[in-house]
Amino acid sequence: MALLQISEPGQSTSPHEHRLAAGIDLGTTNSLVASVRSGVADTLDDAEGMDILPSVVRYTDHGEVMVGAKALGYATQDPLNTLASVKRMMGRSASDLATLEGHLPYRFADQDSGVPQILTAAGPVTSMEVSAEILKTLRARAEDCLGGELAGAVITVPAYFDDAQRQATKDAARLAGLNVFRLLNEPTAAAVAYGLDHQAQGVTVVYDLGGGTFDVSVLALTRGVFEVLATGGDTALGGDDFDRQVAAWVLDQTGLDVQDDPQLLRKILAEARKAKEVLSLESETVIRLEHGTEIREEIRLTREGFEHLIGPYVRKTIAWCRKTLREAEVEPSKVEHIILVGGSTRIPHVRREVQEFFGRPPLSGIDPDKVVAIGAAQQADVLAGNVSGESVLLLDVLPLSLGVETMGNLVSRIIERNTPIPVSRAQEFTTFKDGQTAMRIHVLQGEREKVEDCRSLATFDLTGIPPMVAGAAHIKVTFQVDADGLLSVRAQEKTSGVSASVEVKPSYGLTDTEIETMLRDSFEHAEQDMHAKNLAERQVEARRVLEALRAALEKDGQALLSGDERESIMRAQSELEAVSEADDPERIKQAIGSLERASETFVARRMNQSVRRVMRGHRVEEFE
């Protein structure tokens, strides 16, 4: 007779081999935690049997911190101390939030840069501290349900979160006492939840429209490797925008003024959200604004009217789908599965638009609010070492290219956009001037050719370079991006071994439209950028040629040149100097060619002189 081995709830039949792990979907509107128990991944409930935790935190003047539904209940009566949608503030500077402040009924501490602080009754708090309170609650729930301390967690982030936003998420987890196995892109987690890792190959699109962010990812599974071919999206587009659009319509219909009444604004937003949810099931609804026990306003909104209001936002998501498929070089007809993620995908209009664009109905068998957390839990179980045998390999990609500034105010890209991560790439550079002993490394992110059109991430100095002639030094610059999308850069001079490095951990992220603008501009200004790059490269080459020639003439001009020869070179030099700053790369190229031809005899004599100097006192055989 076989023995039946039993175990405690949440533990495997071999507890000593099982490590407790969780997947956390840290959302803009709601958050969840999930774990794999008895081989099945599912979300974990709180004491009231609720698995969804509203991403809301309330601070009181006597130090109490409320999280979730309890805090949400105070949203209208205590809006300045009840903080919601803080995910939109993660990794942003105070100046970045200027475009959002009209939609954020909070008070901010006076500061020009750095991490913005929200003023509350308990004192100023950052978005990381607020998120940490949410993560603490989810961690406590998981440990209560699983009966032990978590070994670690996988936390999901929008695929389009940049370095600053990802770092802010990791900082929040650290404040919450969580060991982060890795950050995982939300669309990738959703695909894992649907078990697409079990099919041999195929292309899947994940359409993720949440409360505050929109992401679209094109995923491919080939020979066991799950790769994100391309990602796109907007870090400030989601169901919250639908709510605000309805709220704006309500204000327009009623003539109400909420300029100095954040409590009324919260009430209208709450009613707008209710209307949105009702209209996913019904053809019309009534929005009622109450004042005390009396109805202040009553407005009827039809589903058709609602779809007209949100239409521009939905069309914007479809435009991102089209652009991302083009970058992945995949036709819509080649997409085998479309996965819907995020509560906003319950809206019938959204589903219709997605189906019409792709030409097939999307998958929606798993609750779109839970699918990301379930996929994260499955990945956490793998990373905790609880899954034996072959596991799916997840390869996320960089959302924007990374590179360094080079002479001429140009960007030399070292890692291209949509490169799978983790990744390490290196490129060699050299010095511009004779005797140069230091170099400033300027790290940039973006798709344009000029420095001013890209985002500056960090700068650091490499010093101690041995003095050499220009172009002789070999400086290797290595970019390394880890599985969480965080970047470190190292520069080393190969002859001496001197090196310097920096971990790129910026304290703020991109503004609402910056990512979208950077990508759009890279397409719209491609021809202009190539002209600017070509011009800048020719100008740099001209300066290099002129500087080298001046140094050579000063040292050997009198000894090696006749008067006529020197005059011929000076004429060509003057011609190049005259056109070197002109907006005509072809003229600069021709002038460089003319100067090089005029200097050929001089260059040859200098080379012969150098060879004779080196060989003086030696036989030719010694150099063979």
Contact 75, 85 (CB under 8 A): no
**Catalytic entry in 78, 87, 396, 493:** 87
Tokens of 280: 């996913």
Contact 160, 515 (CB under 8 A): yes
Contact 172, 132 (CB under 8 A): yes
Q: Please report which helix (H) or strand (E) contains residue 35, including its range.
A: strand 30-37
The total of other beta-carbon atoms located within 10 Å of residue 355's CB is 13
**Catalytic entry in 51, 186, 215, 271:** 186
Annotated catalytic residue 208: yes
Tokens of 590: 């021709």
Q: Write phi, then psi, for 610 (nearest 5 degrees).
A: -65, -40
Half-sphere exposure of 72 (CA within 13 A, CB side): 13
- Here the contacts of 260-266 (C-beta below 8 Å, separation 24 or greater) are 262/79, 262/80, 262/105, 263/76, 263/77, 263/79, 265/79, 265/105, 266/75, 266/76, 266/79, 266/105
Annotated catalytic residue 505: no
What type of residue is 290? E
CA distances to 136, 242, 287, 501 from 304, in Å: 41, 14, 15, 57
Contact 109, 127 (CB under 8 A): no
Q: Please report which helix (H) or strand (E) contains residue 248, including its range.
A: helix 239-254
Residue that has been written with the tokens 């009754």 in this structure = 121
Angle at the Cα of 287 (from 265 to 353), degrees rounded to 5? 95
Tokens of 170: 């990791």
- Residue 425: strand pairing partners: 479
Phi-psi category of residue 418: left, alpha or beta, with phi > 0 → left and psi -120 to 50 → alpha:
left
Cβ neighbours of residue 621 closer than 8 Å, sequence gap 6 or more: none
Contact 53, 68 (CB under 8 A): yes
Distance CA 128, CA 91 (A): 8
Annotated catalytic residue 136: no
Chain CA centroid to CA 303, Å: 35
**Catalytic entry in 96, 162, 208, 453:** 208
Q: Given the DSSP bridges, would you call strands 30-37 and 180-185 parallel, antiparallel or unpaired?
A: unpaired
Cβ neighbours of residue 112 closer than 8 Å, sequence gap 6 or more: 94, 95
Tokens of 297: 């306003």
DSSP string, 5-28: ----TTS-SSGGG---EEEEE--S
Tokens of 95: 């100046």
Annotated catalytic residue 482: no
Distance CA 428, CA 281 (A): 60
Q: Helix 371-383 crosses helix 186-193 at what angle (to 10 degrees)?
A: 90
| Strand arrangement, sheet containing 455-463 | 410-415, 402-406, 438-445, 455-463
User: Which residues are known to be catalytic?
Assistant: 25, 87, 186, 208
